[in-house]
Structure 1
């Protein structure tokens, strides 16, 4: 029985960092997607999203059996990371504003949005009709 307990602990130790990384990655991606999305979202919507993200983070901490002290440290590190990303994003926006005119910024934004939509369309709707026609 002791061997099983040792193996179980070993598996937990192996997967706990991966679970935590996956949870934090999804939180980070959601935060990044939100920063590029609709900037007119209501405060209530933002608060609900933050509450859901906190619930997910706590669930992952519990699954990984992370202690309360380490959870607090991780939450602090996450908050600092989020603040640093926000500051860096603002610095970048200011730098771009110093390089491009408002019209150029708008044109660049539109071109990036179009390219993103095209990329999503290709990735989401792969058309094999040409490949099928060639094989016949």
Structure 2
């Protein structure tokens, strides 16, 4: 193995976590939107987000010098994972609906949102929606 091959191998090892993060990012966004009650995320905005994520994933594949065949395999694995996660989320929501009334589910969502906002406030994140309402 020459130096070029060793360097290429180490670069691939460096990009592997980034590639995984890019591949999983849409799942995180979907889960976050779903958990915040944004069930309307199935329209044009969702399509644009998916297009942007696909572009980013392609860029990472190119940077990591991943072959077209392996890119297709990774995309297939990613799609299967995304579908499995959606099925799991749906099953979870059905089970929660079997335990809590609509009112209790709403109260739980609100409590989780409040706790999330408090956590973000402690971490120095700013809620831009508060700033927007003050200027109107």
Q: What count of residue pairs does the alignment treat as equivalent? A: 124
Once the two structures are superposed, residues 78-112 of structure 1 have per-residue CA deviations (whole angstroms, 9 ceiling, x without a partner) of 10111111111110111011111111111111111
Give matches, 1:1-136, under 5 Å. Answer: 3-37=2-36, 38-41=38-41, 43-124=43-124
Which moves more between the two structures, 42-51 or 73-82?
42-51
CA distance in structure 2 between the partners assigned to 1:34 and 1:111 by the alignment: 16
C-alpha contact (below 8 Å) 2:22/2:57 kept by paired residues: yes
CA distance in structure 2 between the partners assigned to 1:92 and 1:66 by the alignment: 35
Q: Return 5+ residue gaps in structure 2 as ranges.
A: 126-136
| Structure 1 runs, 4 residues or longer, greater than 4 Å off | none
CA distance in structure 1 between the partners assigned to 2:117 and 2:7 by the alignment: 45
CA RMSD in angstroms comes to 1.9
1:124–1:87: structure 2 CA closer, same or farther, 3 Å change rule? same
- Superposition deviation, residue 76 in structure 1: 0.5
Q: Return 5+ residue gaps in structure 1 as ranges.
A: 126-136
CA distance in structure 2 between the partners assigned to 1:73 and 1:39 by the alignment: 30
